[in-house]
Structure 1
Amino acid sequence: MSQQTERISIVLVEDHSIFVEGLQSVLRKIENVEVLATFSTGEEALEYLQEQPADIVLLDISLPGNLSGVEICRLIRRSHKTTKVIALSNHTEREIVGDMLNNGANGYLLKNASLPDLQNAINQVMMGQCVMSEDIRNIIFAANAPLKSMPRLTSREKEVLYWISEGLTTSAIAAKLFISVQTVESHRYNLLQKFEVPNAVVLVKKAMELGLIRSDSNTRTSRR
């Protein structure tokens, strides 16, 4: 018996109609994805989301109107806690990428992303992961400034860091460690602050560089 795949609802916020048409055509090829609506301004999208929730918003950064993509991202994440935001842009400046991630974006893709890239990004953010195009990851990692000192972590923070590096979601980490989701979120926030990074992807890279976690899955340390 085949298991029915849960639908993923998407809203597109992009002011170039030709790109919107092309993106919709690509998204139709993903079996479990449904495009609810498209908007050329962030303000229109915010009004729509008040009445019709969506799982994911694919959001351009340079938009007409009074609000930028960064501001729209912040407002969506503040008012719609379960809605994921994936930036879809041609901007590759580290500051802009950082602004989007710091304001709650769950992913950052370039507009030349392929169908497999889009499909993977959609699936990953729905599982609580942060995703970025390879070029964006390279920009973020290459420009990463060294820490002034080695972060001092509590034993619980080390455990949370380990499971983040293993790709577990916040809820999965909470179940592993028998603590609340809110407590895991608090540890995540503290780790980002201590490592001076915008998201979990860069967090794991820095921790690997400092030798706090291993880069391969066969070197897991036992926990007392």
Structure 2
Amino acid sequence: MNFLIVEDDNIQLTGLKHIIEEEYADAVVNTASTYNDAITIIDSFDIDIFLLDIDLGGGKTGLDVCGYLRRIPKYNDTPVIFITDITVPNLDVINKYHCQYYFSKPYDRIDVVGGINSVLTQPDDQTSRIRVKDIQGILFHISMDEIIYVCASGHHKHIFTSDGDFIVTNPTFESILQAAGDVPLVRCHKSYYFNPDYIQSYDRSNSLITLKLAQESIPVGRKYKTIIETYQENR
């Protein structure tokens, strides 16, 4: 697994390299302290994970490095972790470059390993995930097969998954359905879609679906009853 660390502080660069080599036995750690050195390595090697300090010297930044590598097709989806001096960085800027993770200085071994492990455990199949932005402005990915149901609430969408619940700012259900791929999210109500793989039971008298891992039952609208009954019968 090939890493590239771009950091203009030699002490921090050496420390990061040491942490990665200790924690990941198969790691090959490339390092650069300037934009030009980073570009040379990007053009010469295949890199699996980038750790980029945003605040480089010499009039260039880690964002410039990321902008360069994102223009190379093979690095369209390669994990990028930003390192920043800002406790709460501009998330819109970070999201623009499809950054998967960031941590702020000063950081420790737990921050570094946690960030790397986070991007390593993301699914390789990008088509099985959707990219959404939560109400805090943080961009993240959700695996489609983990979605239990989706509920509209005003201008927001609540996505309930087997890995947690998220409130997102996607404008319509359609934006989620278009990304659903082979996962058949089914409409059961004007405000609800659900994943039939999670059906546990259907209460016909009260028009409620109980879904595995969901804390509450969800309603079934009158016009959708036949569809839901068909799913239940074919389970």
**TM tier, smaller:** 0.5 to 0.7
Task: Give the match's secondary structure for 2:27.
Answer: strand
Distance 1:45 1:174 in 2: 37
The answer to whether structure 1 residue 219 and structure 2 residue 212 are counterparts is no
Distance 1:89 1:165 in 2: 28
Pairwise CA distance, 1:56: 0.8
Specify whether residues 105 and 164 from structure 1 end up closer, same or farther in structure 2 by C-alpha distance, changes over 3 A only: farther
Partner residue in 2 for 1:5 = none
Partner residue in 2 for 1:91 = 86
Partner residue in 2 for 1:116 = 110
TM-score normalised to the size of structure 2?
0.53
TM-score normalised to the size of structure 1?
0.55
Specify whether residues 31 and 177 from structure 1 end up closer, same or farther in structure 2 by C-alpha distance, changes over 3 A only: same
The aligned amino acid for 1:17 is N
The answer to whether structure 1 residue 76 and structure 2 residue 69 are counterparts is yes
| Alignment length (residue pairs) | 153
Partner residue in 2 for 1:4 = none
The two structures, once aligned, show a CA RMSD in angstroms of 3.6
- 1:114-140 per-residue CA deviation (whole Å, 9 max, x = no partner) reads 3233222112112338xxxxxxxxxx9
Over alpha carbons, which structure has the higher Rg?
Answer: 2
The answer to whether structure 1 residue 101 and structure 2 residue 107 are counterparts is no
Task: Give the match's secondary structure for 1:177.
Answer: coil
Distance 1:218 1:164 in 2: 8
The aligned amino acid for 2:66 is C
- 1:17-39 per-residue CA deviation (whole Å, 9 max, x = no partner) reads 11111111211221345143100
Pairwise CA distance, 1:50: 2.1
Distance 2:105 2:160 in 1: 32
5+ residue gaps, structure 1, are 1-7, 130-139, 144-148, 168-172, 180-216
Task: Give the match's secondary structure for 2:71.
Answer: helix
Question: Is the contact made by 1:14 and 1:39 (CA closer than 8 Å) also made in structure 2?
Answer: yes
User: 1:45 pairs with 38, 46, 60, which one?
Assistant: 38
5+ residue gaps, structure 2, are 124-134, 139-152, 166-178, 186-212, 221-227, 229-235
Q: How does 1:1-224 map to 2 (within 5 A)?
A: 8-32=1-25, 34-79=27-72, 80-95=75-90, 97-128=91-122, 141=136, 150-151=154-155, 161-163=159-161, 166=164, 177=183, 218-219=214-215
Distance 1:175 1:32 in 2: 36
Task: Give the match's secondary structure for 2:86.
Answer: coil
Specify whether residues 175 and 18 from structure 1 end up closer, same or farther in structure 2 by C-alpha distance, changes over 3 A only: same
